[in-house]
Amino acid sequence: MGGKSMMNMAALMVLLGVTAVTAAMSNDYGDALTKSILFFEGQRSGKLPANQRMNWRKDSALRDGSDIGMNMVGGYYDAGDNVKFHFPMAFTTTLLAWSILEFGDSMGADLEHALEALRWGTDYFLKATSKPGMVVAQVGDPISDHICWERPEDMDTLRTTYVVNQTHPGSEVSAEIAAALAASSIVFNNKDRKYSMVLRLRAAQVFEFANNYQGSYNASIGRGACPFYCDFNGYHDELVWGAAWLYKATRVPQVLGLCCEEYSNSREAVFLISDGIQNRVGLTYLFLP
Ligand SMILES: *[C@@H]1O[C@H](CO)[C@@H](O)[C@H](O)[C@H]1NC(C)=O
Ligand SMILES: *[C@@H]1O[C@H](CO)[C@@H](O)[C@H](O)[C@H]1NC(C)=O
């Protein structure tokens, strides 16, 4: 970079800096929160309810799961495509639950919508985990999906259902779903006790599956997961994360033992700082006693 363009760059950065500061002062974070919760409605898959606010979105993917004789209607589409990737969907659900636990009291009228968004995720994960010994890890063939950009209401791409089971395990996706169910059970504890209990029991069952049959879904579902949501750093961090949320939901001391034994064994623990986004260990550290 030459001297002149350097100066132009410096001037530009000052300008941008000024603009950013002005913008920050006029940002309405309440509106940002409202819209980010509304965004979940745009990502909804399945049969949409009467109170759907983003009403240009219609029912879609009503036969999901039929290829394996299961009802997998519902859940969320990922990003701008029509695949239901349960690994990131579960992490999103967990963080939504955590946000409600921490900040729900300040959400005002959005709390109700945040709870609906959470339940849209957990209702779906109850379907994905309805058969013991297996977990539905994903719906939609990502290769077929990515070569054809269609809206979900019209899509004619392959809706393959991918599962992990005892012979082809997937500890990261299963433990992540267990975390989502456990965290959500805490949210619903004083709102819908029965639902909360269903979530908690299911979380325990799914965590046990994830922990007893350890392996990466990378290998088990192959091209369904990779190169889209490959598990780059192993599944131990999700086991720690799942155990930590399950402990928080159940307060069963043995579960904490599981978590922390896993924590100290976890080779990913060394990535605690350097790999904060991929790694759930760092996040777990934030709320464990
Ligand atoms: C277990 O999962 C693998 C990988 O998804 C699948 O090919 C296999 O059919 C499953 N086995 C059973 C018994 O469902
Ligand atoms: C998953 O696959 C990716 C890409 O091939 C690889 O880098 C990663 O190590 C694999 N992860 C596990 C846990 O096997």
Residues 54-98: tens digit of each pLDDT: 999 999 999 999 999 999 999 999 988 999 999 999 999 999 999
Q: Kindly state whether residue 18 falls inside one of the protein's structural domains.
A: no
Which ligand lies nearest to the CA atom of residue 221 in the structure?
A: 1
- Report the Cα 282 to chain-centroid distance in Å: 17
pLDDT band at 5 (very low <50, low <70, confident <90, very high): very low
Q: From the CA of 236, how far away is ligand 2's center (Å)?
A: 13
For residue 180, the enclosing domain spans 36-232
> Does 220 contact ligand 2 (Cβ within 6 A)?
no
Q: From the CA of 184, how far away is ligand 2's center (Å)?
A: 29
Q: Kindly state whether residue 181 falls inside one of the protein's structural domains.
A: yes
Residues 140-180: tens digit of each pLDDT: 999 999 999 899 999 999 999 999 999 999 999 999 999 99
Q: Kindly state whether residue 198 falls inside one of the protein's structural domains.
A: yes
Question: In the block, which residue shows the tokens 């700082």?
Answer: 273
Q: What is the CATH number of the domain that holds 56?
A: 1.50.10.10
Q: Mutual orientation of helices 171-188 and 110-128 as an angle, nearest 10°?
A: 140
Question: Does the pLDDT at position 46 exceed 80?
Answer: yes
Q: Kindly state whether residue 210 falls inside one of the protein's structural domains.
A: yes
pLDDT recorded at residue 194:
98
The ligand 2 atom nearest the CA atom of 172: 13
Q: Kindly state whether residue 279 falls inside one of the protein's structural domains.
A: no
Name every residue whose Cβ is closer than 8 Å to that of residue 90 and which is 6 or more positions away in sequence. Answer: 121, 125, 173, 176, 177, 179, 180
What own/partner pairs with CB < 8 Å and gap ≥ 24 does 195-202 have? Answer: 195/119, 198/126, 199/122, 199/126, 200/249, 200/250, 202/125, 202/126, 202/129
Q: Kindly state whether residue 120 falls inside one of the protein's structural domains.
A: yes
CA distances from 217 to 57, 180, 285 (A): 31, 18, 25
pTM of the model: 0.85
Which ligand lies nearest to the CA atom of residue 172 in the structure?
A: 2
Name every residue whose Cβ is closer than 8 Å to that of residue 6 and which is 6 or more positions away in sequence. Answer: none
> Does 163 contact ligand 1 (Cβ within 6 A)?
yes
Q: Kindly state whether residue 73 falls inside one of the protein's structural domains.
A: yes
Burial class (CB in 10 A: 0-12, 13-18, 19+), 207: buried
Number of structural domains in the chain? 1
> Does 234 contact ligand 2 (Cβ within 6 A)?
yes
Which residue type sits at 91? F
Question: Does the pLDDT at position 14 exceed 50?
Answer: no
Q: From the CA of 220, how far away is ligand 1's center (Å)?
A: 8
Which residue's CA is minimally distant from atom 11 of ligand 1? 165
> Does 225 contact ligand 1 (Cβ within 6 A)?
no
> Does 232 contact ligand 2 (Cβ within 6 A)?
yes
> Does 221 contact ligand 1 (Cβ within 6 A)?
yes
Which two structure tokens, joined as six digits, stand for 176? 């992540």
Q: Kindly state whether residue 204 falls inside one of the protein's structural domains.
A: yes
